[in-house]
Amino acid sequence: MTVIAVLPNSVSIAPAQRLTLGSRFLLVCWTMDGVTDPVGPITPSVGGEPVRPPFTTLTVGTGWGGRRVLSILPAPRDPRMPIHFIANNRVIAELRTETGAADLDPAGLLGSLGGVARLRVLRFLFDFACSTPALRRDAAFAALCRRLVLDRAAEPAMLAVRATAGGDLLLCAGALSSRFGAISGLVVLSPNAVARAPFDACIGPDPAGKGRIAFDLLLDCGLCAPGNLLVVLGANGVACRRFPEESAGLPTLTDRLNARPDTPAALRHYLLACLAQRGRNDASAASAVSELQALAPLPRRQAADAKRPIGASLDLAVPTSDGGLFLAGWLHDPHGLAVELVVRTPFGGERRVGRFAHRFPREDVAKLYGSAGIDRSGFVLHLPGNPEPAKALQVTAELRLASGGALRLVPPPRPRADSDARAAVLGSLPPRFATPELLETVIGAAVAPLHAAHLATRSEPELVVYGERKVKPAVSVIIPLYRTLEFLRFQIACFATDPAMADAELVFVLDSPEQRDEVVHLLRGFHGLYSLPMLLLVQSANYGYSAANNAGVAVARGNRLLFLNSDVVPDRAGWLPQLVAALEERPGIGAVGPKLLFDDDSLQHAGLYFDRDLQGAWYNHHYFKGLPRDFAAACRPRSVPGVTGACLLTTRAAYSAAGGFCEDYIIGDFEDSDLCLRIRGQGLDIRYAPSVELYHLERRSIGRHQGYTRGVASEYNRWLHGRRWADRMAELMARDWHADDEGQPSNADRTRKTAQVTR
């Protein structure tokens, strides 16, 4: 075939040739001598009809001042049909069949072209092939590309393979001439295919100190086969590298980074970004992202020099699954030098902070800088964002200054477990500074997704059965256990020596699984001593009071449910039937609670009510707390707004209709009043039964939870409870709860009811 170009008479027409690209495409090439100006877009047509994509055309300058045109297009179904090339509404070239026309020698594509033009031709071929599946998998085209590359680099240098990475990836490394310029493309040539490299390269200084350009590259294992070639396209040239024979015993990416603590931060960010991109569809790569951050974290970096006029630190940075980012730290900037804080995640996400709205004193910072007056350098903030492809454990930041400079900050990695991250957020500021606005916009925005993520890790709890289970127990007693075990022997001894407990089902729920062996051994001993049937449910982690009770109900068989704390001990036998009698003494009662006593016989609980503090926030209170046991008003059975979950009896129907215990609260606080308000929402009453007395050694378990004692968990729970129930609590507390109940049964009726339940 010959191409005849139709041009002005002053331009000579040179014959040109075609080259078959695989089985479905042609490359047509012709040269226009004396033409130096661009000819505009060129469109091929066959039989008067424009060629349908894919097709592409490239025009480059030749060494002697002309222009060479290359056009890749689908081969016509009828090879005898002429192909016209049109620019500016004129036919500028025609390809037609002539007997004896020779195909183009591949070397002729690059002949007489300068370095920049050769690079453009190779990029032209590779770009079209990589975007055209039928061509990039064509062995003949792959062979052509290999020939063009090897003609320029007959003995390619060897790539180094450094480590294995998640998602069947390998970390490769190489070096280029310092004159190579910026890398603009990476292509892997196998004997049968052309493939674009899945990721760009990471450029860095030459570790050998020879002034070369070093690069690292993540590639799929299948692309790194011996015999394949890596083609590197640069601003000033083309380089070719070959892959070595398969290496055995390669270290993992994490092992390599741990062995080389001087790994550049740019390479670490590159690896994280690539693995995160692959991790969207590859669980192994996603795991590698988390592993890399956890096992090879960046060293912490802060600006804490008392001699400098500005200092800052990010003490905590917690990305959450919903894309949010919680930050806690301090900024000492008495001269107003800082303009903004720019925070980046490992996956390229960026957040900017221009104003720190929630500030509070930091004694350690004031001491460091010798600040006089009120120091308010501490801050917490929450930055919303979009979810990222994998969990981010560590961020980096720059505190930018008005002069154009910046202080680089690196916080420690966030706690890996969501429960630990939740505790860190809750412990990030003193409780006295936890305003409702801060709880809603900062603490709550971070804690809610962390708490939900922690609950989502629940697995099926382990069930240990002691003795024969009752088919239809009169009452199922649900007792959460969390670290406090010293009262267990007294509680179980009271149960075992009380004949009225014979029809009860005891369900212990262990929320501190690290004590599993100890508790299993203890209960086995108590069962052997008392022959008392029991169940032990072992949670896989501590998910809080509500989750423990809900798990206990899920395995319990009774239609009456008693929620009892592990630090509550009955005063005398026969207490449970009396409590059941109070629940069933009239229709419409949804829950009852007894009188609870401190160990000095003063009142701890005689019903629960709600009241506001001086700032208008709602709190839970216990009637007559601290007054004598026989205080007259505390000895009268009556309706109350609620009762404590330390000892709360309800029916399975009321519990289920209420949705069980709400699990949104942290650790163990306000869940009982929330349940009572849900029960009241069904139109049911809640009553206080003073004839039943138990000792409550208050809050012994929760006092051992660092996530509660060292932070704002209680303030968060109170805020959450108040936000949900403020109107309902106000409505309830408008009633006179000390008025006499109407229609109460006589003592004789109550005694007869108790006897019936006992039988």
Q: Are strands 560-564 and 475-481 parallel, antiparallel or unpaired?
A: parallel
In a domain, 510, yes or no: yes
The count of structural domains within the chain is 4
Q: Which domain holds residue 17?
A: 2-111
For residue 105, what is the domain's CATH number? Answer: 2.60.40.10
pLDDT score at 210? 73
pLDDT digits over 743-757, tens only?
444 443 444 444 444
In a domain, 123, yes or no: no
User: Which of the pair, 697 or 741, is modelled with greater confidence?
Assistant: 697
Co-location of 276 and 369 in the same domain: no
CA angle, residues 192, 193, 197, in degrees to nearest 5: 145
Closest among 752, 582, 751, 544 to 667, alpha carbons compared: 544
In the numeric block, which tokens belong to residue 379? 């801050």
In a domain, 306, yes or no: no
Number of alpha carbons in the 13 Å side-chain half-sphere of residue 591: 37
Residue 653: exposure state from Cβ atoms within 10 A (0-12, 13-18, ≥19): middle
Q: What would the 3-class secondary structure string for 311-341 be?
A: EEEEEEEEECCCCCEEEEEEEECCCCCEEEE
Average pLDDT of the chain to the nearest whole number = 87
| CB neighbour burial string for 730-758, b if at least 16 within 10 angstroms, e if fewer | eebeeeeeeeeeeeeeeeeebeebbeebb
Query: To the nearest whole percent, how much of the chain has pLDDT over 90?
Result: 57
Co-location of 595 and 680 in the same domain: yes
In a domain, 132, yes or no: no
pLDDT over 90 at 591, yes or no: yes
Co-location of 266 and 353 in the same domain: no
Q: Are strands 67-74 and 25-32 parallel, antiparallel or unpaired?
A: antiparallel
Co-location of 363 and 403 in the same domain: yes
CA angle, residues 161, 166, 168, in degrees to nearest 5: 65
Domain boundary, last residue among 266, 296, 326: 296
Closest among 270, 237, 129 to 193, alpha carbons compared: 129
DSSP line for 395-423 = -EEEEEETTS-EEEEBPPPPPSSHHHHHH
Mean pLDDT of the region 340-369: 91
Rounded CA-CA distance 136/143 in Å is 11
pLDDT over 90 at 665, yes or no: yes
Query: To the nearest whole percent, how much of the chain has pLDDT over 70?
Result: 91
pLDDT score at 37? 66
Co-location of 267 and 359 in the same domain: no
pLDDT digits over 112-127, tens only?
787 788 888 888 888 8
User: Which of the pair, 7 or 566, is modelled with greater confidence?
Assistant: 566
User: Which of the pair, 446 or 68, is modelled with greater confidence?
Assistant: 446
pLDDT over 60 at 242, yes or no: yes
Rounded CA-CA distance 291/166 in Å is 10
For residue 530, what is the domain's CATH number? Answer: 3.90.550.10
In a domain, 119, yes or no: no
Co-location of 101 and 229 in the same domain: no
Co-location of 384 and 512 in the same domain: no
Number of alpha carbons in the 13 Å side-chain half-sphere of residue 229: 24
Domain boundary, last residue among 238, 271, 296: 296
pLDDT digits over 202-225, tens only?
998 777 667 788 999 999 999 999
User: Which of the pair, 301 or 80, is modelled with greater confidence?
Assistant: 301
Confidence of residue 38 (pLDDT cuts 50, 70, 90): low
Confidence of residue 559 (pLDDT cuts 50, 70, 90): very high
Lowest mean pLDDT among 163-172, 423-432, 579-588, 639-648: 163-172
Co-location of 175 and 230 in the same domain: yes
Mean pLDDT of the region 386-405: 90
Closest among 511, 506, 500, 546 to 527, alpha carbons compared: 506
pLDDT over 70 at 102, yes or no: no
pLDDT digits over 455-475, tens only?
999 999 999 999 999 999 999
Rounded CA-CA distance 118/112 in Å is 9
In the numeric block, which tokens belong to residue 619? 């709190």
Domain boundary, last residue among 397, 431, 455: 455
In a domain, 611, yes or no: yes
In a domain, 116, yes or no: no
In a domain, 304, yes or no: no
Co-location of 171 and 71 in the same domain: no
pLDDT over 60 at 305, yes or no: yes
Co-location of 715 and 613 in the same domain: yes
